[in-house]
Each structure stands twice: as structure tokens, then as C-alpha cells.
Structure 1
């Protein structure tokens, strides 16, 4: 009877392997990065004795979801084993959530490192663009469209500029950095280099000058 169940699951596994273009059990073991013993357990329907990470690797190679894999190889489990299957599914969901959180953390880390590389451009470019816009005869004005993809990227990352170059705004020491002179909070200052924030996180403060002492940007 056990041999019959084993042959049945072997056939199901072979069908999945054929659909995924996996030529042999050894190839499945190698591509998934698991031992051939684990593949044998799957052929015998012993998913309750396999680690979630192992099942996840095999499911990715076979191009099926974890839920589908558990359903396909779950029919010969004993009456006292559904609880272990439920636990497997819970562990799988926990692992998926963990992977999602790790992915989000990696994205944030990548964005932060990229922003550090772009810092000089982020600070200097708006001032250069402002100067070019004030004098349409400058050849530099033709370069403005070239940076639109970068601006679009920053927008997708949720990076927002603090004010704009040349704007006159109330001084806020939390968002603005004085380049010279003194100013009380709320006093009117002129933005010379814009700052940036990403959501609630301040990346760079805008550099400003008191309105009475502002040289041409």
C-alpha cells in the first residue's frame, strides 16, 4: 500500500517537473538547492516532515505556489497530521511576510545609499537650473529636459523638495539652514539651495539667506 502511494506522488511530481522543464529528480534537487532526500520525501507525500524553506525552494523551481504544492502532496497524510499542515501554512505565511519586510528594507537601504550619491546634484542642480531660467540666452537652459528622468525617479521614491530656489518663505530652523547672518523663526528668508525630505524623514535642509542680505543666486 505504501508503495502505491509513493508511486502516485512520484507521478505527480514528474508531471510538475515536466511542466517546469526539470529533467530529473537530481536536477530538481540541484536547482532548488535541497538534498535528494528531501525530494524523496516529497515523492512519498511526507510534506509534514519537511521544512517550510525547503518546500518554498521546490515550489519556486516547479513554478507553483506553496499552497498548490501542499494540496497536491497532502492526500496520504494520516488523520492526525492536518494540524501539522496548518502549521506549515502558517509558517509559510510568516516566511512570506518576513521576505516582504526584508525586501522593503532592502529597497529603503538602496534608496538611501543612492540619495547619498546624488546629494551634490540634489543640492547644486536646482540653483544652476534657476540661474539658467533667469537668462534664457544661456546654453545651459537646453540641458534642463535631460534631468527630467531623475526628477521622475525622485518623485517615485517620494522625495519632495523643500521650497524652490528664489522663493521667499518664513524661516524654520528645522527645515532651513542659514548660509550667513541671523534670522528669527518666522522671519522672511530667500531659498538659495533647496532641501529635500522623504515622507516624514528630513534628508537635507534648504539653505537660505535673510532677505535683506541675499546675494544673487
Structure 2
């Protein structure tokens, strides 16, 4: 979304600042203990993409409740003040916090999915390159291998793991393995030529395998 397409709540913010006796954005930033950027994000309609802890600080700086703040900068996102008064306020706070955590989780999963799609070719080819270099350290580019470790560590943090290592002999499983040529029965020994991946319990790419020497074709 372009900046021009975002709503502008500057008049509403100025009115609330005037009521609270705050003369400038910098003063509000200091009173609330948040960066001016967070207030600008709120002013441009990004309240629901802002952590609840930040929203609470800004509401305190403006001397209003969290519900009042959201009623101005995120209309329709929360019930009215009457509905959130008393004991329901804590419940509404928890609901908002859960909603934002869910949004964060969805965005993170989407980012990982798009990143893995862009890295697909590298993910499938790189382990085979590493295997060849380890067999022959004199190959060009062998000194570059350590520089890729941060990417591999990132994949680990995302829960992405290899099904099997290149060169490893494993029992053939048609759900996890794709034969490069020939046919094989489940359980027959095959050699991994290109690594496959799973992310937690989800299969991303099947490993490409070939028949082990001595297996039937």
C-alpha cells in the first residue's frame, strides 16, 4: 500500500494533543516514552500493526484509554467504551493482543513461504555442490562454503530440515523420494542425489534419488 493510500488522522491527533495539553509531536513522544515514528505510524492508520504495549503508552501520553485511542485511529476495531469499561477492559486488551500476535504469525509464515519459493533452486542444488566439493576440495569455490552457513542456520531457525544428506543410502519412500530414472519398490535402497526438505511436519520438496548399485530397475 502506498503512503498516499493510507488514511491521515492528523486532525484527530492534534485535537487529542490539545485536550491533553501536549504542544508537539516531540513532547508527546517524550511523555509516552515511544519514538516519534510510532506516533507517525498511528497517525497514518497503522494502529492495528502497532504492538499493544506501544498503543498503551501513547494512550497514556494523551490521557485517554486504549479503547478511546483505537476508536479514533482504528474505527470499528473494538467495541464502544461502554462495552469495554470495568472488568471487560482487561478482556478487550487480551483480545487485541491475541489478534496482533495472530497477524504477526500469519505475516511471518507468508514471508517464510515466499522466501523459500525464491530460494528453491539454491536449496535443491547447493547440498549437491557441497558434496562434490567435499569429495574434491580442489574444486573452484571451495573456500566460499563457510559464507553460506548463516543461510543454513536461518533455515534451521525456520524449522526447515533436509530429508537426507546427498550421497546417503536410504530405503525408498515414494512420499519422500523422487526417482531420477527407473522404478523401485518401497524399502529398496536408493542413493540421495539432491536433498529434499520438510518444514516441521510439512513436506516442501521430495529428495531426488537414484537406484543403489545392485538394485532392480
TM beyond 0.5: yes
User: How much is the aligned-residue C-alpha RMSD, in angstroms?
Assistant: 3.7
Contact 1:196 1:203 in 2 (8 A): yes
TM-score by length of 2: 0.66
Q: Does 1:168 align with 2:169?
A: yes
Query: Any idea what SS the aligned residue of 1:212 has?
Result: coil
Q: Does 1:21 align with 2:30?
A: yes
Alignment correspondent of 1:44: none
Distance 2:94 2:172 in 1: 49
Distance 1:33 1:64 in 2: 13
Query: Any idea what SS the aligned residue of 1:139 has?
Result: coil
Query: Any idea what SS the aligned residue of 1:189 has?
Result: strand
- Name the count of aligned residue pairs: 171
TM-score by length of 1: 0.66
Which of the two has higher C-alpha Rg?
1
Alignment correspondent of 1:198: 199
- 1:1-217 to 2 correspondence within 5 Å? 13-14=20-21, 18=27, 20-21=29-30, 31=40, 32-33=42-43, 60=55, 62-63=57-58, 70=65, 84-212=85-213
1:126 positional shift: 0.6
Query: Any idea what SS the aligned residue of 1:177 has?
Result: strand
Distance 1:90 1:152, change over 3 A: same
Contact 1:189 1:209 in 2 (8 A): yes
Query: Any idea what SS the aligned residue of 1:127 has?
Result: helix
Distance 2:118 2:214 in 1: 32
Segments of structure 1 that go 5 or more residues without pairing to the other structure are 1-9, 35-51, 74-80
Distance 1:110 1:186 in 2: 36
Distance 1:61 1:94 in 2: 14
1:19 positional shift: 6.5
- Which structure shows the bigger proportion of residues in helix conformation? 1
Query: Any idea what SS the aligned residue of 1:183 has?
Result: coil
Segments of structure 2 that go 5 or more residues without pairing to the other structure are 1-16, 69-81
